[in-house]
């Protein structure tokens, strides 16, 4: 209505228009003052404008996959005092929403009834410490030169991605390459070794690293085949690159190597995961090691 008055005021004046339209002159002039100087805006509107910038920053920094709850949690972690309902309201106004995974129909795993890999953990995917249980999953993304396949190895304790590999072909040993990377990472960062039996199959099952050991051993890593009975999909689905759900112009298999590396760095170090208390995996592991060392430090002081 203010815009209409602006368009007609030169021909009729504000007062004659006011007599026809249900708008008070004071309301019109107040709106014009707000347009000229933001300091005249009500405190809530000024605060909403600041929050919109913060919301867009958090949403963009997190691959545009966060919904209102995750955006709100991140802002709270940064010290921003804001209600979740406020974030929900503003994200609706801004047209922002979290990523939703659509249904996919490409077959990436072929079950073999005669070579069924054993269920090494008996459907128990709990872990009490890092590197006690690993699980693997495979996803695929469409590039301009064909499909790209990505295998992940995930620590069931912290949901941290400990190994990954990208390939332009669906090789049967793709997951084993990711497992080898994970084992190398553990040896480099902890100085300890991992004995792993990998049961993963697209056309066959493969065993790596000798005879099986009990799944409760802290030096045990189990690579669980997705062709077995249902297992916690949230454990692996949350690690799949949601950025792959969007088209990346000119993306090639080599491009997806760097994109996946960027995704893994974000996922491990900054992504908030609900199953571990809405904190990143690396922070969850740091808390675990801190509490493990705390009794020793206290004992040393006494």
pLDDT tens column, 39-95: 777 888 889 999 999 999 999 999 999 999 999 999 999 999 999 999 999 999 999
Let me know whether 62 and 125 are in one domain: no
Q: Is the pLDDT of residue 31 over 80?
A: no
What is the rounded distance in angstroms from the CA atom of residue 178 to the CA atom of residue 181?
5
pLDDT tens profile 144-167: 777 888 999 999 999 999 999 998
pLDDT attached to residue 219: 44
HSE-CB for 128 with a 13 A CA cutoff: 6
Q: Is the pLDDT of residue 132 over 70?
A: yes
* Residue-range definition of the domain harbouring residue 235: 113-275
pLDDT attached to residue 227: 46
Three-state secondary structure string covering the chain: CHHHHHHHHHHHCHHHHHHHCCCCHHHHHHHHHHHHCHHHCCHHHHHHHHHHHHHHHHHHHCCCCCCHHHHHHHHHHCCCCCCHHHHHHHHHHHCCCCCCCCCCCCCCCCCCHHHCCCCCCCCCCCCCCCCCCEEEEEEEEEECCEEEEEEEEEECCCCCEEEEEEECCCCCCHHHHHHHHHHHHHHHHHCCCCEEEECCCCCCCCCCCCCCCCCCCCCEEEECCCCCCCCCHHHHHCCCCHHHHCCCCCCCHHHHHHHHHHHHHHHHHCCCEHHHCCECHHHHHHHHHHHHHHHHHHHHHC
Give Cβ neighbours of residue 141 (< 8 Å, ≥ 6 apart).
Answer: 147, 148, 150, 241, 244, 256
Let me know whether 69 and 138 are in one domain: no
Whole-angstrom distance between the N-terminal and C-terminal Cα of the chain?
75
Residue 283 is assigned to a structural domain of this protein: no
pLDDT tens profile 164-211: 999 888 877 888 889 889 888 887 777 666 655 544 444 343 444 433
What is the rounded distance in angstroms from the CA atom of residue 174 to the CA atom of residue 136?
11
Nearest to 150 by CA among 135, 131, 163: 163
pLDDT attached to residue 145: 74
pLDDT tens profile 255-273: 888 888 999 999 999 999 9
Let me know whether 256 and 129 are in one domain: yes
Let me know whether 160 and 267 are in one domain: yes
Q: Say if CB 35 and CB 47 are below 8 A apart.
A: no
Let me know whether 239 and 177 are in one domain: yes
Residue 107 is assigned to a structural domain of this protein: no
Span 244-257, average pLDDT:
63
pLDDT tens profile 215-247: 444 444 455 544 444 445 556 556 666 544 455
pLDDT tens profile 99-126: 876 555 555 555 555 556 666 677 778 8
Let me know whether 90 and 120 are in one domain: no
Let me know whether 17 and 133 are in one domain: no
What is the rounded distance in angstroms from the CA atom of residue 250 to the CA atom of residue 262?
17
Backbone dihedral angles phi then psi of residue 208, each to the nearest 5 degrees: -130, 130
Q: Is the pLDDT of residue 15 over 70?
A: no
What is the rounded distance in angstroms from the CA atom of residue 165 to the CA atom of residue 180?
10
Let me know whether 171 and 217 are in one domain: yes
Residue 239: alpha-carbon gap to chain centroid? 7
Residue 280 is assigned to a structural domain of this protein: no
Let me know whether 129 and 237 are in one domain: yes
Bigger pLDDT: 278 or 205?
278
Pick from 94, 128, 146: which residue ends a domain? 94
Let me know whether 169 and 264 are in one domain: yes
- The CATH number of residue 178's host domain is 3.30.420
Q: Is the pLDDT of residue 16 over 80?
A: no
pLDDT attached to residue 169: 85
Give how many domains the chain has, as a whole number: 2
State if pTM tops 0.85: no
Pick from 45, 61, 94: which residue ends a domain? 94
Residue 300 is assigned to a structural domain of this protein: no
Q: Widest CA span of the chain, in angstroms? A: 92
Residue 175 is assigned to a structural domain of this protein: yes
Residue 296 is assigned to a structural domain of this protein: no
Residue 118 is assigned to a structural domain of this protein: yes
What is the rounded distance in angstroms from the CA atom of residue 130 to the CA atom of residue 41?
52
Let me know whether 240 and 137 are in one domain: yes
Pick from 65, 94, 123: which residue ends a domain? 94
The length of the chain is: 302
Let me know whether 27 and 141 are in one domain: no
pLDDT attached to residue 236: 58
Mean pLDDT of the residues in the chain = 75
Give Cβ neighbours of residue 195 (< 8 Å, ≥ 6 apart).
Answer: 209, 210, 213, 219, 220, 221
Nearest to 283 by CA among 36, 112, 74: 74
pLDDT attached to residue 215: 41
């Amino acid at each position: 209505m203010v815009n209409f008055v602006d368009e007609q005021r030169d021909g009729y004046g504000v007062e004659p228009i006011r007599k026809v339209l249900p708008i008070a002159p004071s309301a019109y002039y107040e709106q014009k003052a707000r347009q000229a100087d933001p300091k005249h805006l009500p405190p809530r509107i000024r605060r909403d404008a600041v929050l919109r910038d913060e919301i867009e920053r958090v949403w963009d920094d997190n691959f545009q996959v966060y919904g209102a709850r995750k955006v709100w949690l991140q802002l709270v972690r940064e010290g921003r005092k804001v209600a979740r309902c406020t974030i929900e309201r503003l994200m609706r106004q801004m047209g922002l929403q979290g990523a939703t995974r659509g249904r996919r129909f490409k077959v990436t795993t072929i079950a073999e009834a005669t070579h069924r890999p054993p269920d090494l953990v008996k459907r128990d995917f709990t872990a009490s410490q890092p590197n006690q249980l690993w699980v693997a999953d495979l996803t695929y993304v469409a590039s301009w030169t064909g499909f790209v396949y990505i295998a992940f190895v995930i620590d069931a304790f912290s949901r941290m991605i400990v190994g990954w590999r990208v390939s332009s072909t669906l090789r049967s040993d793709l997951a084993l390459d990711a497992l080898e990377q994970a084992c190398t990472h553990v040896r480099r960062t902890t100085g300890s070794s991992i004995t792993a039996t990998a049961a993963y199959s697209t056309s066959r099952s493969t065993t790596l690293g000798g005879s099986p050991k009990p799944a409760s051993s802290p030096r045990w890593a189990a690579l669980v085949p997705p062709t077995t009975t249902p297992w916690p999909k949230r454990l692996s689905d949350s690690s799949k690159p949601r950025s792959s759900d969007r088209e990346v112009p000119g993306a090639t298999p080599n491009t997806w190597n760097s994109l996946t590396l960027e995704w893994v760095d974000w996922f491990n170090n900054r992504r908030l995961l609900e199953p571990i208390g809405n904190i990143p995996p690396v922070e969850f592991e740091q808390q675990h090691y801190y509490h493990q060392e705390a009794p020793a430090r206290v004992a040393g002081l006494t």
